[in-house]
């Protein structure tokens, strides 16, 4: 038919993980920003949430509207991967989200940095194997060059088709 379908993607992750870069922005996100793109008959809206501590509480207000989640990880920030793990656990424990088995795409960003964790190491550090109630996938990317981004997005777009 002629009708377009809409899908909302919620993009979360710690501050400095590269969320805004992945969506071509330059200033730290205050609260959130919005970006749109179209694929076939589906028009996607990405809600890029700020990862700064004081704004992380805002993420949950979008769980009821989200059709998919993109969780960006700074794979080179070994010190804060435990913080990412805590934020992920909090997110997945949320009552609204627990009832909605929407897919989660993890982006192991900054793959260009030499000391970075591989996607396998990221998924171990985050305990992703414990996620059994929803589809998830992890892929490495470099938000600066766009390398790997498309493959990750392709996966979540396929899940939403």
Total Cβ atoms within 10 A of residue 87: 20
Q: State the virtual CA torsion across 84, 145, 111, 120 in degrees, nearest 10.
A: 70
Q: How far is Cα 155 from Cα 35, in angstroms, rounded to an integer?
A: 19
Q: Considering the complex, state which of residue 11 and residue 159 has its C-beta at the smaller distance from ligand GTP.
A: 11
Nearest approach, Cβ of 88 to ligand GTP (angstroms)? 15
Nearest approach, Cβ of 115 to ligand GTP (angstroms)? 11
Which span (57-65, 79-87, 97-105, 107-115) binds ligand GTP, by CB under 6 A? Answer: 107-115
The interface mask with ligand GTP, positions 41-70, x = CB under 6 A, is ---------xxx------------------
Q: How far is Cα 99 from Cα 56, in angstroms, rounded to an integer?
A: 20
Nearest CA among 55, 54, 5 for reference residue 33: 55
Among 7, 9, 10, 21, binds ligand GTP (CB under 6 A): 21
Nearest CA among 4, 129, 126, 152 for reference residue 68: 152
Among 82, 89, 96, 113, binds ligand GTP (CB under 6 A): 113
Phi-psi region of 121 (alpha: psi -120 to 50; beta: other; left: phi over 0): alpha
Q: Is residue 152 a contact residue for ligand GTP (CB under 6 A)? A: no
Among 7, 9, 10, 13, binds ligand GTP (CB under 6 A): 13
Which span (19-27, 61-69, 95-103, 120-128) binds ligand GTP, by CB under 6 A? Answer: 19-27
Q: Are 47 and 82 in contact (CB under 8 A)?
A: no
Point out the residues that are catalytic: 52
* Residue ranges binding ligand GTP (CB under 6 A): 13, 15-21, 28-29, 50-52, 72, 109-110, 112-113, 142-144
């Amino acid at each position: 038919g002629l009708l377009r379908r809409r899908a909302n993607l919620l993009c979360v992750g710690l501050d400095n993980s590269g969320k805004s870069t992945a969506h071509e922005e330059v200033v730290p996100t205050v609260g959130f920003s919005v970006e749109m793109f179209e694929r076939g008959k589906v028009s996607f809206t990405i809600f890029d949430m700020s990862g700064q501590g004081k704004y992380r509480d805002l993420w949950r207000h979008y769980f009821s509207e989200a059709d998919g989640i993109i969780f960006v990880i700074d794979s080179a920030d070994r010190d804060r991967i435990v913080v990412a793990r805590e934020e992920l656990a909090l997110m997945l424990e949320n009552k609204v989200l627990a009832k909605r088995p929407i897919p989660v795409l993890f982006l192991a960003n900054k793959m260009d940095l030499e000391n970075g964790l591989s996607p396998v190491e990221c998924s171990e550090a985050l305990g992703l194997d414990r996620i059994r109630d929803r589809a998830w996938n992890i892929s490495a990317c470099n938000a600066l060059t766009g390398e790997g981004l498309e493959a990750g997005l392709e996966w979540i777009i396929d899940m939403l088709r």
